Amino acid sequence: MENILEIHDVTKKYRSKHALRGVSFNLSAGKITGLLGSNGSGKSTLMKIIAGLTQPTSGRVSIIGGAVGIDSKAVVSFMPDKPLTESWMNVKDALKFQSDFYPDFDQTKASRMLEFMKLRAQDKVKDLSKGMNERLQLTLALSRRASLYLLDEPIGGVDPVARTKILNALVEFYEEDSTILLSTHLVSDIERIFDDVIFIKEGEIVMHTAVEDIRMRQGKSIDELFREVYAEC
Amino acid sequence: MLKLVKYDFRRDRDKFLAVFVITILVQFVIGFTVRSDQEMFMMNVTSYAVAGVVLLFFSLRTFGQNLRLFNRRLVPVPVLYTVLSPVMLFLGSLLGLFLVAYIHLAVDIMMFSTSFLPEKFWLISAYTVLIVFWASAYSMLLVMFSMTVAMSVRVKGRVWIGIAVFFVIQYIISLLESSMFDHKNITLERAFRFEVTDEAAKLNDIEISQYVLGLLPTLFEAVIITILVFAIVKLVKKRVES
C-alpha cells in the first residue's frame, strides 16, 4: 500500500535544544494513528513540520511522494493547537474561508458537522466557549476531503462532555480511505479509535506499533503502556 | 491573490473605514475653521498624508499577523501572494484616499474656482500620485523586509534587530543611490519636492523638468524592490516559524 506520509530521519533543533532527534516512520492510507507523548515530547513540532509551518533542521518529509509545499498543503488538513479562525469571524465566515482556499472542502459535510456539533452559522467565534471552539476547529479540519488529517490535541483542555462529542464526531466523519495522525497525552479517552500508536519521548520515537499487537501480545491497554513508558517523565 | 487581499481587508475593515471617515470629518473641520487659503491647503495635504501613514501602519500590521496566523500560513498559495497581498491592500486603500482627495478638490472647484490651483496642477498631481505609489510600495517593502528578518531569528529583542536592519538597509541603499545618480532623481526625495523657479510667480511656475521619471534610478529601485520581495519570500519559506 502506498505511504501517505514518510518521515525520514527528521531532526529539529532550537539552538542547542533538540525538539526532535532522527524521527522516522511511515503512515499508510486508511489508518488512525495516535501520536502519544507527554507535554514537550515533540508532538506539536512534528505536526508543524508535516504541515509546513516549521522547517526541520535535517531530514526529509514526504507527503504522497512529494515534498512539503503548496501541493502538500492542499491535501493535508491540520487542526493545530492554536485556532484556525480569527476573532472577527463568525462560524459562517470560518467555513467560507476554508471553502475559498481548499478545493477539497465539502460544504454538505460541513453542514452535517455543524448540526452534529450543535454550532450555528451566525455564532461569533470570539463568543464560543473553549469546548465549542474545539468543536468548530474539528469541523473546519474534517470538512475537507483531505488525504491526511493532522489533529494536534483535539481533546486537550475540554470537559468530558465536549470530549465525547469530539471523539464521536471523529468516528462519524472520518473518511475511511484517508489517514489521521492524532496527537494527545489523554490516552484513556481516545485509545478506542486508534489502529496504530507512535510513542514519542524527548523528541525520539520509542515505539510504533499496531494497537492490536499491544493488546494481544502484551495484554495491556494503551493507557497502561503509556503510563509505563512515561512513568519517570 | 485577490481572495487574500479580501481577507486582509476584512480583518481590519472597521479600522480602515474609520480612517476614511475621520479624514473626511477633518476636512470639514478645516473647511469651516481655517480662513487662509494657503494654510487650508497645507492642512488638507497634511491630514491626507497622516491618513496615508496610518493606512501604511495597518497594512504592515496585517503583514505581521499573516506571518503568525496558522490559517494564513496553511493555505495552499505561493508565499509570494502572502507577501504581496498586504502591499496590494495598502496601495488599494491609498487609491481610495486619493479618490477622496480628488472628490474633495472637485467640490472645492465647484464651490469656488480653479484660481487657487497652480497652472500645471493636473500634471503635477498625476506625477505626484505616481511617485507616491512607487515610494510607498518601496518603503513598505523595506519595512516588511526588516520585519521578516526580525521574525526569522529566535533571540530576545527581535524588534530592535528589525529596526536596526531597516536603518542599515535604508542607509546602504541611499548611499548607493546618491553615489550613482543625481539626488534630484531619487524617488523618496522626489516624492514631495516642488521647486518654484520664479519667486514672484509663486505656485504658477513650478519647474516642470523635474517631473520626468529618471529611467536609471527607477530601474535601480525596481531591482531593489525585486531583491527585497525575493529575500522576504525566501525568509518566510525557510526561516519564519509560526
pLDDT in tens, B91-139: 999 999 999 988 988 887 777 766 666 667 777 778 888 888 888 898 8
The H-or-E segment that residue A1 falls in is none
As given in the structure block, the three cell numbers for residue B56 are 501604511
If you average pLDDT over residues B220-233, what whole number do you get?
92
pLDDT on residue A233: 54
Q: Which of B68, B74, B155 should we substitute to test contact with A (largest number of A Cβ atoms within 10 Å)?
A: B74
Question: If pLDDT is split at 50, 70 and 90, which confidence band does A89 have?
Answer: very high
Residues of A with CB under 8 A from a CB of B: 14-15, 48, 51-55, 70-71, 73-74, 78, 80, 82-86, 88, 93, 97, 100-102
- The DSSP secondary-structure symbol of A33 reads E
CA distance B104 to chain A (A): 32
Q: Which pLDDT tens digit goes with each residue over A170-205?
A: 777 877 788 999 998 877 778 778 889 898 988 888
Mean pLDDT of all residues in chain A?
86
For B62, the 3-state DSSP assignment is helix
Q: What is the pLDDT of residue B115?
A: 65
Separation of alpha carbons A50 and A43, rounded Å: 11
Rounded-to-integer distance, Cα A72 and Cα B24, Å = 47
**Confidence at A216, pLDDT banded by 50, 70, 90:** confident
Mean pLDDT of A48-63: 92
Please determine, for residue A69, whether its predicted confidence score (pLDDT) is greater than 50. yes
What's the pLDDT at B201?
Answer: 47
* Across A202-225, average pLDDT: 81
State residue A39's pLDDT score.
83
Q: At what angle do helices B13-33 and B2-11 cross, to 10 degrees?
A: 70
Q: In this complex, do B70 and A53 lie within 8 Å of one another by their Cβ atoms? A: yes
- Grid coordinates given for A133: 471552539
Which chain B residue shows the shortest CA-CA distance from A96? B7
Check residue B200 and give its pLDDT: 46
Residues B5-40 have pLDDT tens digits of 999 999 999 999 999 999 999 988 888 887 777 787
**Is the ipTM here above 0.85?**
no
- Report yes or no: B183 at the A interface, CB cutoff 8 Å: no
Compare A177 and B187 and report the one with higher pLDDT.
Answer: A177
User: Across the interface, which of A14, A15, A78 has its CB nearest the CB of B74?
Assistant: A78
- Enumerate residues 6+ apart whose C-beta is below 8 A from B40: B30, B31, B34
Give dist(CA B118, CA B131) in Å, integer. 19
d(CA B24, CA B149) in angstroms, rounded, equals 37
Q: What's the CATH code, domain A3-229?
A: 3.40.50.300
B193 touching A, CB under 8 A?
no
CA–CA separation, A88 vs B10, rounded Å?
A: 8
**Could you give the percent of chain B with pLDDT greater than 70?**
83
The pLDDT of residue B52: 92
Nearest chain B residue to A13 by CA: give it: B154
DSSP B34: -
* pTM, to two decimals: 0.82
Per residue in A108-165, pLDDT (tens digit) is 989 988 888 888 989 999 998 888 888 898 889 989 999 999 999 887 767 777 778 7
Beta strands A66-67; A58-63: pairing state:
antiparallel
Judge: B241–A51 Cβ closer than 8 Å, yes or no. Answer: no
Locate the chain B residue with the closest alpha carbon to A84. B71
Residue B142 pLDDT greater than 90, yes or no: yes
Q: Can you give the pLDDT at residue B242? A: 65
* A59 dihedral zone (left: phi>0; alpha: psi -120 to 50; beta): left
Q: Which of residues 35-74 of B touch A (CB under 8 A)?
A: 69-71, 73-74
Residue A211 C-alpha, separation from nearest chain B C-alpha, in angstroms? 31
A16–chain B nearest CA distance, Å: 12
- Average pLDDT (B48-59) is 93
With CB atoms and an 8 Å threshold, state whether B70 touches A82: yes
pLDDT-derived band at B184 (thresholds 50, 70, 90) equals low
**In chain B, positions 93-152, which contact chain A (CB-CB < 8 Å)?**
none
**CB contacts, 8 Å: B151 with chain A:** none
**Local structure of residue A60 (DSSP, 8 states):** E
**Which pLDDT value is given to residue B58?**
94
Which residue does chain B place closest to A49, by CA atoms? B241
